[in-house]
Chain A
Amino acid sequence: DQQVKQNSPSLSVQEGRISILNCDYTNSMFDYFLWYKKYPAEGPTFLISISSIKDKNEDGRFTVFLNKSAKHLSLHIVPSQPGDSAVYFCAGGKSNKLTFGGGTRVLVKP
């Protein structure tokens, strides 16, 4: 039972352009959503979060959009930089319990 899905396993984007990562969920009970970034041989690091009562949250180059009616969230990275190359995980959260998607590998080409 995959409650959180990232249907694109990989994404390639040119440096300076926008990266858009998508995530779908089925559990309407999530109170908040997060995006984590993971480099090889390291643990995931927190990137940005959004409460389920909001539809947008922005932090520098990173913006997360939430569409509750569609049960869909997306992460926009503008502009993309080579250091953004990593695996990105979205997660739904309730009572400090996180349910992760399968991840999207992003490659930013110089």
Chain B
Amino acid sequence: EAGVAQSPRYKIIEKRQSVAFWCNPISGHATLYWYQQILGQGPKLLIQFQNNGVVDDSQLPKDRFSAERLKGVDSTLKIQPAKLEDSAVYLCASSLGGRAASTDTQYFGPGTRLTVL
């Protein structure tokens, strides 16, 4: 079974530039998550999709971050414009969804390491 795919793996940009990340979840997984992991911290949920609808985006800085999951499969996360404090690893995860929460394991992709100069 193929895992969660993410691209690019690394990205370096200057502040005020724009950047986009792509995620392809495990086939058949209805729920997709984007996390931000700042160096030395644990992952922090940015947004959660159930199919192509947003379940939770309470921690997404909506003035500069946006995400979409068209057709309920792939997803993109965009930052525009980027700030220095956006330097982090952006992790995508997926889960089957529609199950008892404690058994709905989240599977993570390798992440995209973003450096903002």
Contacts and interface: CB of A to CB of B under 8 A. Distances in A.
Given A43-B91, A43-B111, A97-B56, A31 B102 contact: yes
A93 B104 CA distance: 11
A69 interface: no
Contacts of A96: 31, 48, 55, 95, 97, 101, 104, 106
Interface residues of B, number: 25
Contacts of B48: 96-97
Give the dominant DSSP class at A's interface.
Answer: strand
A89 interface: yes
Interface of B: 4, 31, 40-45, 48, 55-56, 91, 93, 95, 97, 101-102, 104-111
Given A6-B42, A44-B43, A96-B95, 14 more contacts: A43-B4, A43-B93, A43-B107, A43-B110, A43-B111, A46-B105, A95-B101, A96-B97, A96-B106, A97-B56, A100-B44, A102-B41, A103-B40, A103-B41
Contact of A32 (B91, B95, B101): B101
